[in-house]
Structure 1
Amino acid sequence: MKRKNYSGYTAYSYLTQGIDYRPFDLAAETDRVPGYELGLTAEQEDRAQRLLADNVVVSLHDHPIRLPARPEELSEYQKAAHVALGYAGLSRSGLDAVFENLGGPGWSWQDTITDLGMRLCDLAHQDFVVTAGTTDAIRTAHATGRVALVLGLEGAESIEGDIDRIDVLYGLGVRQLGVVYLEENALGYGLQAPVDHGLTELGRKAVRRMNQLGMAIDLSHAGDRTALDVIEASEQPVLITHAGARAVWDTVRMKPDEVLAACAAKGGLIGREAAPHTTVSPAHRRHGIESVMDHFRYCVDLVGIDHVAFGPDTFFGDHVGLHRALAGVLNLEKFFASGPELVMTEYVTGLENPAECFPNITRWLVRGGYSDEQVAAAVGGNVLRVLDRIWGAPS
């Protein structure tokens, strides 16, 4: 396993639980469910470990925090303002960088800034996980055995229509912003909006501002027309950090070929999603790494391996239980009911948390006969290349 310079720090250990902040019973970071066996030979396993160690590995979208052991307590946990990063789990993840999206549905500007500030305060008390706003910082994390955290927001609702707040977020270290998260906001329309009227005039100004700042734009939750409008309006490549192909699994949460192809044509990236019951496939109706990789293969065939990546969208804890707890808020039944019948599962086999995703993705690619160069591109090289354009290449 890739060696990491981790000394054992746990989140907010400079404070005293129960005195300085409210304690919660948190989920285990690893080994919550049985591991997944991909059936590699000893030689293939050695090659997978070498590729994981030698290459810069980047998740375009995960939530490497420890969930409450009772997922229904998430809202209270977040309001208590001491959301715990899973440092020990990250030390076993093989990751050199991870895009961590803060906040939640319906969060105000004050909620977002409080969460961001508290997380940065915790990070300031250790030196294993570092914030990154440049590709140099990500490469340095790889070279020094650390993990780079790229701060982002899944939607722009919390800017409350004030474009200058994008500058504030950038100044506080945020380097990726989703245009819209659930239904609609002042910038555009989400996948749950009854009608997608596309990018608004304010949305066009926001895209221009993000281009000027060097902030990555995420379209994962944008409606199809809004996504196409953003791709056309942006002077830089854009990201679909966590999604799949609608041609493989016909639900509104997946992206149609037109959007995937337009994103790639602009030089952007498509990150493979693995949140429960999303990237399912007809060949693998019980969600797991095999169904996720069916979406990977499809996208490689559609746009080429230079435009694919992975954003598993996992937590340390019970992700299925979390979705059950948030089903009403996130309207998840709409996503499930909009497509073919699937087999419900208690967890996504092989991609259950941020600690196991990229080791197993790398194993799967090795087992599938992909070359060293292809593996390196898919697990992080493509992300670095595109971020060099968006953020600015190292001097």
Structure 2
Amino acid sequence: MPTTRQDAAVCHAEALVWEQHCCLPLDPDTDVDVLWRYAKAGASFVSVNAGYAPHDVADTIRVLSGFRRQLLARPDRYLLARTIEDVREAKATGRLAVAFDLEDTRPLGGRTDLVQTYYDLGVRTMLLTYNQRNAAGSGCHDESDGGLTDFGREVVAEMNRVGMVVDTAHCSYRTSMDVFAASTAPVVVSHTAARAVHDDSRNVWDDQMLACAATGGVVGINGVGMFLGDNDASTEALLRHLDHAVELLGWEQVGLGLDFCFDQAGDELTANPDLFPPSYAQWDRLEFVEPERLPAITAALLDRGYAPQAVEGILGGNFLRVAESVWR
């Protein structure tokens, strides 16, 4: 029997919708109020990127400080998420809980003690590498894969101690598998897609997904058309990857990390071309699944026969479970 609009609306309203990764322009004066688009689409939590490979410690602190200042100035809309209780409070009060993530370990400046500092500033997730090799390991676009380094193992151990979620999106195959083996806490692949569905080096193979799930972690499917297939950011393209991940892992290990970029002009690709392979430049405009599509994703999952419990898990309950296990 087809899902009615009312059924889908009720399911979406009851779910705690959790967006595991999105990107604002990395300028401390960026207007962060564009994040409210997620709240209007029914989300209660979003993880915002606050730094990546080109950024040093000073750059990252500036961005975090600017974003935090603006969010704290709007307590009517935003709640900086320190705990899981903060996320639940945001859901109960119609606000948007916000935490931060870092896409690379270069913002550590070679110091593992900064993991605690960033955690105290609201960073709850960090990737080990971004596309290319750094001091912690290899990236998904490296020609050779050296795996996780000794420094990388120290970073993973410190993240486990502090309560920061370890993330292998953008990591090489061997680095990700080494991280899954090294971490004593659940690991996530926050924003990726299934390489079995679309063979792109940014996507992950089935055995990587299985190894992530074995840690108790979650694989977040992104909404970037280039990775979903031929720059196709349709809901159907997204669902092909979600279906594959659920069939492989079970719905309990799958979530959403749409990787929506509020600056879609490609400024980062232009400013830092060495970080990206030539294939990134083949499209005049990259297509993304936008926040406003979240209710439609709920309806599409229900139409596909997913039970409401499974839909609520994919929309956010599964990433919430990981945060409950890891955050301190």
* TM-score bracket for the superposition, by shorter chain length: over 0.9
Q: Which residue, 201, 206, 219 being the options, matches 1:252?
A: 201
Provide closer, same or farther for how the CA distance between residues 324 and 184 of structure 1 changes in structure 2, counting only shifts above 3 A: closer
Q: How far apart are the structure 1 equivalents of 2:178 and 2:154? A: 12
Could you tell me how far 1:196 is from its partner in structure 2? 1.2
CA distance in 1, matches of 2:136, 2:41: 35
* Identity percentage of aligned residues: 30
How far has the Cα of 1:87 moved from its partner? 4.3
Q: What is the aligned partner in structure 2 of residue 348 from structure 1?
A: 287
Report if aligned partners of 1:241, 1:271 keep a CA contact under 8 Å in 2.
Answer: yes
Q: Which structure features the higher share of helix residues?
A: 2
2:260 maps to 1:331 = no
CA distance in 1, matches of 2:121, 2:113: 13
- Cα shift at 1:327: 7.4
Counterpart position of 1:391:
327
Write the distance in 1 (CA, Å) between the matches of 2:293 and 2:161. 33
SS of the aligned residue for 2:317 comes to helix
After alignment, is 125-134 or 141-150 more displaced? 125-134
Partner of 1:190: 139
* Structure 2 counterpart SS, 1:177: strand
Structure-2 separation of matches of 1:299 and 1:336: 28
> What code does the residue aligned with 1:378 have?
I
Deviations along 1:242-272, one digit per CA (max 9) or x if unpaired, are 0011111111111011111100111110000
C-alpha contact 2:226 2:286 (8 A) present in aligned 1: no
Counterpart residue identity of residue 231, structure 1: F
Within-5 A mapping of 1:13-92: 44-63=4-23, 65=24, 78=26, 81-85=28-32, 86-92=34-40
Whose strand proportion is higher, 1 or 2?
2
Partner of 1:32: none
Instruction: Give me the TM-score of the superposition, normalised by structure 2.
Output: 0.92
Structure 1 residue runs of 4+, over 4 Å off? 321-324, 334-337, 344-347
Maintained 8 Å contact 2:224/2:233:
no
Match of 1:306 in 2: 252
Whether 1:376 aligns to 2:322 is: no
CA RMSD across the alignment: 2.2
Q: How many Å apart are 1:324 and its aligned residue? A: 6.1
Match of 1:366 in 2: 302
Aligned residue type for 1:225: R
Contact 1:327–1:333, Cα closer than 8 Å, also in 2: no
1:228 match: 177
* C-alpha distance in structure 1 between counterparts of 2:313 and 2:110, whole Å: 37
Q: Report the residue type matching 1:83 in the other structure.
A: T
Distance 1:160 1:226, change over 3 A: same
Distance 1:247 1:327 in 2: 29
SS in structure 1 at match of 2:228: coil
Alignment-derived partner of residue 152 in structure 1: 101
Q: Is the 8 A contact 1:280 1:292 kept in 2?
A: no
Structure 1: gaps of 5 or more residues? 1-39, 68-77, 338-343
Q: C-alpha distance in 2, partners of 1:88/1:99?
A: 13
TM-score in terms of structure 1 length: 0.77
* Matched ranges for 1:282-297 at <5 A: 286-297=232-243
Segments of structure 2 that go 5 or more residues without pairing to the other structure are none
The structure whose Rg is larger is 1
- 1:120 is aligned, of 45, 48, 68, to 68
> Distance between the aligned counterparts of 1:316 and 1:272, measured in 2?
18
CA distance in 1 between counterparts of 2:103 and 2:272 reads: 18
Deviation at 1:192, TM superposition (A): 1.8
